[in-house]
């Protein structure tokens, strides 16, 4: 059993014989959990080293040759967006040889190679098919045969500008030998037989050969060209591969960074401050306002997903970039992802609305059966009023969250930039293929059958480890900063409570900064430990979920009812463990701020207080936490709505900045909005929890009657008859 804390939390005699306020809040502290602080610092050093690797490998726009291999260190968004040509150059790279500025579209020259890559059991891969970077996708001629020729070099005396102006066609300048090899689909010029359309900066063939172009080709003595649907599906399958979709999603983040700053940073900051001011002045009406606004916003977000999924209106996302034949329809994997999220949001929306209706009905029904629940709502409202009074007296609490907000904003800019660099830190290397293919070399002036393999971006195994380490570090750092903010708020509110709400001279001058000083000097190790526990549990849940999905794809998991029950039960247990740890941590941070104990000791004290006063806490915390949680969702959903609106402008719907899908940028705006709201709402949330725990400790040390609590709190939590009735 722990010893009594009331004597040291309340008034205590100082060395000069006077009586001071604050007890253990202001004295007898020492550094706690130093080992974990050292681990946290070492982890940050490792994070910097890991990010430096990404910045070094993924950012510079310079190219070098090593051992006849064309290795490139390329700009992150370009690398994640565009394809590679037959020389290993990245389309759109102005530093390539030749310069490919504005030549951003990847086009496959040899239609038979594309067909061969799509044939079942074929060893030929599309990445080895000869490709080139163009300004736009070529289309067949209506009265002749168009050609697309290799980059001009050797005896072809044309500049890149002239080559582009001639629509990539210099067939008339070819020697008889070159023309003969071109008719064998060995270059340097290749016929345009199939129409193509720009799909995510790759020219996808439409398996509908031009009869006129095909007739001219056959009359010239060209080899047979396959016209099967496989030629369409081969490129489509490559564009919609999981790795390609992942790269496009990451590129979307890089392109939409202004949206992330406005909707993920500035907007939730503004909305959170407004919410705090409203809770200060309109505390009684806030539960109703929050519930109504939440329902409006979740319906709005769901409708946006329906719009982008194409189920409402004609605003569905399209993988086709630029103008195209309206009868050409191409579906990308991103559209399926949006539709899956739309279905999920529909379920969440229905559950949320039904739950809100149930809550409102229970609040409005003034029957004797529901008096206990009405009492709980009254208690939650009173606690919100007490918290609002604390915020009014300790006014620095309103602006304090701006400090962790600024720190997190700087951290996220660094972290997201490093993440994009890590994802783009692969090297361009030549494939090792065993295929029989030949292509005319303009420099060597002959057909070369040795270098027909294509190029691809190679990612070494340690890059995956670096990315996972980076993700874990981002989550740990986020939890750490949120925990620091919560601890500072708890220390400030505790100072107010144990001084009986007196503002001067009982409460320390600038209590927020005094609490920050105590945290930095004594308790950073404890906060690092608490945030590590949450991050570790969340990482385990993420890894187990990834393993479960891979086993499901591989068909290893059981499809029977027993296997499904076990799967859902294990997921539910992990989520319960995660929620319990987060709840324990929050209360532990409060006791750390009050007592200065280590993390585990503070957790023990907080848990014992809660168990001894479970009925008092339970009748307030449930509704209070629900209202605050809905408030956070209102801020984050508002960020998502404005994210949709910004991404719906022309800048992000066409040309270079076109994003493949609003899904990931909107989700990130949603997540950032929730993090920012958590920082600001923690002022109210931690104020309520700190007041309640302080009240419980106060009551426990004074035979059930709190001595330091304000009258409104005594009225709310001090009703012993109500406690006895609830236990019946």
pLDDT of residue 377: 43
Q: What is the mean pLDDT of residues 177-201?
A: 89
Q: Rounded to whole angstroms, how far apart are CA atoms 244 and 288?
A: 46
CA 515/CA 711 separation, integer angstroms = 25
Q: What is the pLDDT of residues 681-716, one digit of tens each?
A: 888 778 878 877 887 777 777 766 777 776 666 666
Q: Distance between CA 691 and CA 420 in Å, rounded?
A: 43
| Residues 573-597: tens digit of each pLDDT | 766 766 677 777 788 888 888 888 8
In angstroms, the CA 706 to CA 704 distance is 6
Strand-strand pairing, 12-13 and 19-20: antiparallel
Look up residue 129 and give its two tokens: 């098919």
List, for residues 285-323, the tens digit of each pLDDT value: 777 888 889 999 999 999 999 999 889 888 888 888 877
For residue 474, how many other CB atoms are within 10 A of its CB?
Answer: 19
- Nearest-CA neighbor of 623 among 688, 719, 695, 694? 688
- 616 versus 640: the higher-pLDDT residue is 640
In this predicted structure, the answer to whether residue 191 has a pLDDT above a threshold of 90 is yes
Give the span between the Cα atoms of 123 and 437, in whole angstroms.
13
**Cα–Cα distance between 639 and 525 in angstroms, integer?**
33
From first CA to last CA, the distance across the chain in angstroms is: 28
Assigned token pair, 457: 């971006």
Q: What are the tens digits of pLDDT across the range 129-174?
A: 889 999 888 989 888 899 999 999 888 888 899 999 999 999 988 9
461-498 and 511-518 helices, crossing angle to 10°: 130
pLDDT number for residue 634: 93
Q: Which residues pair with 205 in a beta bridge?
A: 196
Span 348-378, pLDDT tens digits: 999 988 888 776 665 554 333 333 333 444 4
Which of 43-47, 419-423, 440-444, 464-468 is the most confident on average? 43-47
Q: How far apart are CA 607 and CA 575, in angstroms?
A: 20
Average pLDDT over residues 432-456: 79
Residue 414: in which H helix or E strand, if any? helix 402-423
Average confidence score pLDDT of the chain: 77
What pLDDT score does 286 carry?
Answer: 78
pLDDT 10s digits, 57-80:
654 333 333 333 333 333 445 555
Using a pLDDT cut of 90, give the percent of the chain over it.
16
Percent of the residues in the chain that have a pLDDT greater than 70, as a whole number: 75
């Amino acid at each position: 059993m722990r010893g009594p804390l009331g004597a040291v939390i309340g008034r205590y005699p100082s060395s000069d014989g006077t009586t001071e306020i604050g007890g253990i809040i202001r004295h007898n502290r020492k550094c706690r959990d130093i080992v974990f602080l050292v681990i946290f610092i070492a982890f940050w050093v490792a994070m910097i080293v890991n990010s430096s690797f990404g910045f070094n490998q993924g950012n510079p726009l310079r190219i070098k040759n090593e051992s006849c291999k064309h290795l490139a260190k390329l700009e992150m968004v370009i690398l994640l967006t565009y394809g590679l040509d037959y020389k290993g150059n990245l389309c759109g790279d102005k530093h390539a040889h030749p310069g490919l500025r504005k030549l951003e579209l990847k086009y496959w020259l040899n239609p038979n190679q594309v067909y061969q890559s799509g044939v079942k059991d074929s060893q030929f891969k599309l990445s080895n098919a000869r490709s080139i970077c163009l300004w736009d996708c070529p289309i067949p001629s209506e009265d002749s045969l168009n050609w697309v020729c290799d980059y001009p070099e050797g005896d072809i005396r044309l500049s890149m500008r002239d080559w582009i102006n001639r629509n990539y066609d210099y067939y008339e300048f070819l020697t008889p030998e070159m023309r003969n090899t071109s008719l064998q689909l060995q270059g340097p010029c290749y016929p345009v037989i199939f129409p193509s359309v720009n799909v995510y900066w790759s020219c996808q063939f439409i398996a509908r050969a031009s009869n006129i172009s095909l007739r001219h080709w056959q009359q010239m003595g060209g080899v047979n060209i396959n016209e099967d649907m496989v030629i369409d599906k081969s490129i489509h399958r490559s564009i919609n591969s999981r790795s390609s979709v992942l790269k496009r999603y990451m590129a979307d983040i890089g392109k939409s960074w202004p949206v992330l700053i406005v909707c993920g940073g500035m907007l939730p900051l503004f909305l959170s401050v407004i919410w705090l001011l409203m809770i200060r002045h309109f505390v009684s009406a806030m539960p109703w306002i929050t519930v109504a606004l939440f329902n409006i916003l979740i319906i709005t977000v769901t409708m946006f997903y329906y719009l982008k999924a194409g189920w409402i209106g004609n605003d569905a996302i399209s993988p086709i970039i630029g103008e195209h034949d309206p009868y050409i329809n191409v579906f990308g994997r991103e559209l399926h992802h949006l539709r899956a999220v739309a279905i999920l949001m529909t379920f969440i929306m229905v559950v949320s609305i039904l739950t809100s209706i149930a809550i409102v009905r229970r609040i409005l029904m003034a029957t004797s059966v529901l008096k206990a629940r009405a009492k709980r709502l009254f208690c939650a409202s009173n606690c919100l009023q007490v918290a609002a009074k604390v915020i009014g007296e300790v006014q620095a609490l309103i602006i304090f969250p701006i400090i962790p907000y600024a720190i997190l904003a700087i951290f996220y800019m660094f972290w997201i930039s490093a993440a994009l660099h890590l994802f783009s830190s692969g090297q361009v290397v030549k494939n090792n293929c065993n295929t029989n293919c030949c292509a005319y070399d303009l420099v060597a002036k002959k057909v070369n059958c040795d270098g027909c393999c294509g190029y691809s971006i190679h990612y070494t195994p340690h890059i995956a480890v670096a990315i996972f380490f980076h993700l874990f570090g981002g989550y740990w750092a986020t939890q750490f900063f949120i925990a620091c903010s919560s601890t500072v708020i708890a220390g400030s509110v505790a100072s107010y409570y144990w001084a009986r709400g007196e503002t001067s001279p009982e409460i320390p001058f600038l209590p927020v900064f005094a609490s920050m000083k105590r945290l930095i000097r004594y308790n950073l190790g404890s906060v690092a430990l608490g945030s590590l526990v949450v991050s570790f549990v969340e990482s385990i849940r993420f890894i187990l979920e990834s393993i479960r999905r891979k086993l499901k794809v591989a068909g290893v998991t059981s499809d029977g009812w027993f296997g499904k029950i076990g799967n859902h039960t294990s997921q539910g247990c992990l989520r319960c463990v995660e929620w319990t740890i987060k709840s324990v941590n929050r209360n532990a941070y409060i006791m750390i701020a009050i007592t200065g104990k280590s993390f585990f000791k503070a957790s023990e004290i907080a848990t014992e207080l809660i168990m001894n006063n479970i009925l008092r806490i339970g009748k307030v915390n449930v509704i209070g936490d629900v209202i605050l949680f809905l408030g956070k969702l209102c801020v984050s959903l508002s960020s998502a709505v404005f994210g949709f609106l910004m991404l719906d402008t022309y800048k992000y719907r066409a040309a270079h900045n076109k994003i493949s899908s609003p899904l990931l940028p909107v989700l990130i705006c949603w997540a950032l909005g929730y993090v920012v709201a958590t920082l600001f709402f923690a002022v109210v949330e931690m104020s309520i929890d700190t007041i309640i725990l302080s009240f419980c400790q106060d009551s426990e040390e004074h035979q059930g009657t709190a001595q330091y609590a304000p009258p409104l709190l005594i009225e709310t939590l001090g009703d012993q008859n109500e406690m006895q009735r609830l236990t019946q």
